[in-house]
Amino acid sequence: MCRMKTAESEVPDVHFSVDKQNISLWPREPPPQTGSSLVLRKTCTVRAAVIVLTLVLLASVLLQAILYPWFMNTLSDVKTSAQLLNGRVDNISTLSSEIKRNRGGVEAAGIQVQMVNASLDHVHSHIRRLEAGVKTANAQIQILTKSWEDIYNLNAQIPELKRDLDKASALNQKVRGLQSSLENIRKLLEQQNDILQMVSQGWKHFGGNFYYFSRVSKTWYSAQQFCRSRDSHLTSVTSVSEQEFLYKTAGGLVHWIGLTKAGSEGDWKWVDDTPFNKALSMRFWIPGEPNNTGNNEHCANMNRYSLQSWNDASCDKTFLFICKRPSKPSEP
């Protein structure tokens, strides 16, 4: 053990205690300072410094000997860990890229899911429309079913209705028959009434026609005008029986008939537009007539009590005359 003390120094001395096991360093009470102790103190200081350095060197060697394997092991572990970490980082990078790729897939899947959702909405809307259509169809089916039931009931009534219809048809036919009979009776009554009226006015009825034998004489044209005013014409003659009726009723007195020439030298024609039958008429002329005396005889009269009673004469002469009108007034 080495102790050093200085009187002048205000700095407290440092006491070093060294043994084989440990080294301690702590402040000590300042020793009393003398000249020999100063040399001693330097020596001790050098020795202490050498010892300290030796101890430090030994400690360093000891620490290196102890710590190097641990450090190397630790370094190896660190390397291994670093490699593992590096591998994990690579794995993480791989996972990141896969995640990126999968993210695109997920986004596409999201879009597809949205499209599917939109399609589902559309399908739901379509289903709702179909449900509404089914409801409407059901309502129509119910109406049709009701109508069919009505038709079925009507169909059951058809035989009875058909019998009624047959009865009605028979009745209708009878009614039509009665109507026809009534119509015929009405026409007959009209004819009878017409005949009565015409007869009461001096007309004679023969063969479906009325004849008026005048009591005054007129020229041929004035006689025709008179007949026209009575809804008739100067008479035509279309049969032997009619000729016989006329000359017998005329009683041999001269009467104008409705025969005249179309122009001064034309063919004979009936003034009521009845077609002129030249062959039949040949039987009614007085033999030698028509002779057109004086080239002025363009009208015909009846002047004998005979089938052959016709003579051509001047139209301006005045004679009695015969008007003729059908039983049924001609249609306007």
Which residues of this chain interact with Ca ion, rule CB under 5 A?
289, 291, 297, 311-312
Tokens of 309: 């009673």
N residues, the chain: 332
Closest distance of CB 291 from Ca ion, Å? 5
Q: How far apart are CA 188 and CA 39, in angstroms?
A: 195
Compute the least distance from the CB of residue 240 to Ca ion, in Å.
Answer: 22
Residue 18 token pair: 């060294």
Tell me whether residue 246 or residue 289 sits nearer to Ca ion (CB atom).
289
Nearest to 246 by CA among 319, 54, 237: 237
The least CB distance from residue 253 to Ca ion, in Å, is: 17
Of 255 and 289, the one with the shorter C-beta distance to Ca ion is: 289
Our CB check for Ca ion shows the closer of 236 and 311 to be: 311
Element (H, E) at 240: helix 240-250
Q: Measure CA of the first residue to CA of the last residue in the chain; give whole Å.
A: 183
CB of 300 to Ca ion, least distance (A): 9
CB of 254 to Ca ion, least distance (A): 12
Run of H or E residues at 53: helix 35-200
Q: Please state the closest distance from residue 295 (CB atom) to Ca ion, in A.
A: 11
Cβ-proximal residues to 216 (8 Å cutoff; 6+ apart), any chain? 320
Which residues on adjacent β-strands are paired with residue 255? 302, 320
Residue 139, number of CB atoms within 10 A of its CB: 10
Cβ atoms 224, 271 nearer than 8 A: yes
- Of 224 and 311, nearer to Ca ion (C-beta) is 311
For the bound state, the minimum distance from the C-beta of residue 287 to Ca ion, rounded and expressed in Å, comes to: 11
Which residue lies nearer to Ca ion by CB, 3 or 304?
A: 304
Measured CA to CA, the distance from residue 263 to residue 292 in angstroms comes to: 13
Report the nearest approach of Ca ion to the CB of residue 317 (Å).
11
Nearer to Ca ion among residue 16 and residue 289 (C-beta): 289
Cα separation, 68 vs 22, in Å, equals 23
Written as one letter, the residue type at 215 is R
In terms of CB distance, is 220 or 312 closer to Ca ion? 312
Residue whose CB is less far from Ca ion, 220 or 289: 289
With a CB cutoff of 8 Å and minimum separation 6, the contacts of 33 are 5, 6, 7, 8, 9
Nearest to 56 by CA among 15, 4, 18: 18
Paired strand residues for 130: none
In terms of CB distance, is 198 or 259 closer to Ca ion? 259
Select the residue whose beta carbon is closest to Ca ion and give its number. 312
Could you tell me the sign of the dihedral formed by the alpha carbons of 317, 321, 326, 332, in that order? Answer: positive
